[in-house]
Amino acid sequence: MQIDDPAVIAEARALFDRYEAAIAGNDAATLDACFWADPRTVRFGITEILYGIEAIRAFRASVARYAPRAVRRVHITSFGPDVACTHLEYERTDSGLVGRETKIMARLPEQGWRVVSAHVSLLAGGDPGRVQR
């Protein structure tokens, strides 16, 4: 298995960039097209836990706009020709909050690259469940 094939990284980055542009423009149709249209698709958001494309679509329909954000760092790793993970660190420009977003992408037959799983979170000031030494 080839890890981090530059061609695969570029393909995953293209989907990543398309998704980011759609978030900025609240383009629900493009956001939907980026995801695998399947009941097994998962999206864990800041305020929601969504299993299946229909739940993701219903969430997208409820959003008037997304908080503006500036990319701080993008990290992409590919595994073979058909799987990639993207990691985004961003800052919400309206509040200064730092967010993280991980997407697992797969190249699907007759569909091309799609997000099959996504996890979005905001950086908390502390973790009450972790006791430091």
Q: Which of 2, 1, 10 is CA-nearest to residue 76?
A: 10
pLDDT at res. 126: 72
Q: Other C-beta atoms within 10 Å of 100: how many?
A: 15
How much is the pLDDT for 115?
Answer: 98
Write the Ramachandran bin of 52: left for phi over 0, alpha for psi from -120 to 50, otherwise beta.
Answer: left
pLDDT in tens, 32-73: 999 999 999 999 999 999 999 999 999 999 999 999 999 999
**Mean pLDDT, rounded, of the chain:** 94
Fill in the DSSP letter of residue 38.
S
Structure tokens given for 79: 């595994």
What are the tokens at 133? Answer: 């030494």
pLDDT value at residue 125: 76
